[in-house]
């Protein structure tokens, strides 16, 4: 897959590129894009990472273009949206969305609000937003790259239910697994002992 990354912040863009599997070919542009060259290159995906250039309609209409936006869409459109959010006491966060001819109006792929504290400045909120953008990008990389997201089958659930007693992991991982499988009166999680199923639940108080 050929990916063109367009950015006004090379250091930040490289953090996103690092999250893209090495099997994909990434081409980074940090200057004002020459759209004719991009069209000739024919990328499968164009990523806008904090890019200050508005894409022409022929690009967004003919290529899959995804924007990483430091704001909560649909309300936080445009420039320096976190600054306005702080000044107006409104929520802010990070959004990754498909691009259209109208700036910051495309279909939202994923987004998340970030907290704003009374001790925050524009910089501390912005840093928090960037961290959230990277988290969203990492957790939704398959959809962002044009996939349909991960599909979990009934077999996947059944496999999850049978606990591997030899599995090595953190206490958090083990508790999270048991939390995910504890559902009221249902007996989901189990392990095999002497040929019998021993069901396990967790009680959180």
Catalytic machinery residues? 69
Q: How do beta strands 65-69 and 92-98 pair?
A: antiparallel
Question: Rounded distance, CA 104 to CA 148, Å?
Answer: 22
CA distances from 59 to 37, 42, 46, 79 (A): 11, 10, 9, 21
Going by the DSSP 8-state scheme, the letter that residue 61 receives in this structure is T
In whole angstroms, give the CA distance from residue 141 to residue 5. 14
Query: For 105-141, b where at least 16 C-beta lie within 10 A, e where not — what string?
Result: ebeebbbeebebeeebeeeebbebbbebbbebbeeee
Cβ 19 vs Cβ 138: under 8 Å: yes
* 107: DSSP letter: P
Sign of CA dihedral 82, 85, 89, 95: negative
Decide if 108 contacts 66 (C-beta within 8 A). no
């Amino acid at each position: 897959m050929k990916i063109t990354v367009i950015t006004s912040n090379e250091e930040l863009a490289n953090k996103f590129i690092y999250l893209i599997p090495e099997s994909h070919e990434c081409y980074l542009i940090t200057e004002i894009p020459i759209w004719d060259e991009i069209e000739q290159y024919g990328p499968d995906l164009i990523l806008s990472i904090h890019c200050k250039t508005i894409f022409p309609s022929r690009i967004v209409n003919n290529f899959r273009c995804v924007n990483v936006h430091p704001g909560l869409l649909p309300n936080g459109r445009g420039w320096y949206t976190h600054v306005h959010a702080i000044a107006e006491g409104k929520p802010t966060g990070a959004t990754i969305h498909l691009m259209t001819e109208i700036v910051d109006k495309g279909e939202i792929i994923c987004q998340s609000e970030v907290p704003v504290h009374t001790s925050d400045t524009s910089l501390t909120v912005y840093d928090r937003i960037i961290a959230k953008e990277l988290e969203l990008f990492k957790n939704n990389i398959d959809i962002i790259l044009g996939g349909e997201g991960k599909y979990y089958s009934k077999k996947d659930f059944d496999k999850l239910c049978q606990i591997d007693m030899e599995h090595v992991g953190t206490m958090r991982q083990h508790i999270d697994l048991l939390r995910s499988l504890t559902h009221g009166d249902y007996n989901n999680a189990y392990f095999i002992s002497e040929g019998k199923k021993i069901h396990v639940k967790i009680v959180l108080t």
